[in-house]
Amino acid sequence: MSLTPDRPAVTSDLRFHPTTALIGADVTGIDLRQELDAETVARLRHALLKYKVLFFRDQAIDDDQQIRFTRYFGAVTPAHPVTNGLEDHPEIKVNKLFGGIQEYPAFRLDVDHPLRPVSRSRKGRGWHTDITFVANPAAITILRGVEIPSYGGDTVWADLEALYDGLSAPLKGFLDGLHAIHVRDDAANGLPRPPRYDGRAPGPFASLHPLVRVHPETGRKALFLSTGFVKAIDGLQPSESAALLDYLNEELSGHADYQVRFRWAPNSIAVWDNRSTSHFGPVDGPHLKEQRIVHRTTVGGDLPIGPDGFVARPLVGELFNTIS
């Protein structure tokens, strides 16, 4: 007898196939068009903690089914704290890239925008953890390939726990007590965002986070790096802060052994633990010749806690809410 969307799918064939020796796994033996039973959800959640990124192929689901799948991991947020989601599906953020034209123009000082603030560029600037400019960033992200170029458009993830583990003991001890300022202010960069459908302010946002966060479920430590959003380390001199962040970001971008790369296809899905990973994608975005469209949903997160007991707090702007 065939399964119906209303009947939980018992997925006895569910399998996880490690993608690298450290991070990532391909998932087979599951049909996300169907509802999932409690045992399957528990296995997926356990695998996500273990592998940090899960990859699904040939999952022809729609927006409603993506939102339902997201709910298995927790309460769903709006699409984004700054930009609107779809009017009929406010949980869905549509990321579009047309022939190399990025969704977010570069925040660059030029003769047409001479008053934009200048931020020092850093190696690996494309690496980020989602939405860290709020004090409670999303815990888990789900990204679905809708329209994918015939080649290019890959995403890369890095294991932030492995990155922390690879540092020397004296440096770990120093980093464990540091706190970083994460900021996003589109209006200050000359790109004010339109009003949000839900009436919440589209920014500015700033938060103070531990530089090392303790995973709320596993207790493991991870470097809490989000290159584009981390502006300074609290308490350090500007030159000290810049030098330390440059070093850490070079470690993040330079360790291929801590990374996994995913080749997208239509109906592919990636699910990642935003508390233990950083990602960069599409890695060749400016060079793409074809359209790339992906739909994103996120699960609400908590306030990150550092090894010293410091709890992240907002400096400017609201916490990130959940809606379904």
Active site amino acids = 128, 130, 279, 296
Bridging pattern class, strands 259-262 and 269-273:
unpaired
Cβ atoms 312, 210 nearer than 8 A? yes
Question: Which of 102-125 are b and which e, b meaning 16 or more Cβ less than 10 Å from the residue's Cβ?
Answer: eeeeebeeeeeeeeeeeeeebebe
Rounded to whole angstroms, the Cα distance separating 134 from 302 reads: 11
Give CA–CA dist 259/18, Å, rounded.
13
Q: Residue 222 phi/psi, 5° resolution?
A: -140, 145
Q: d(Cα 267, Cα 56) in Å, to the nearest integer?
A: 8
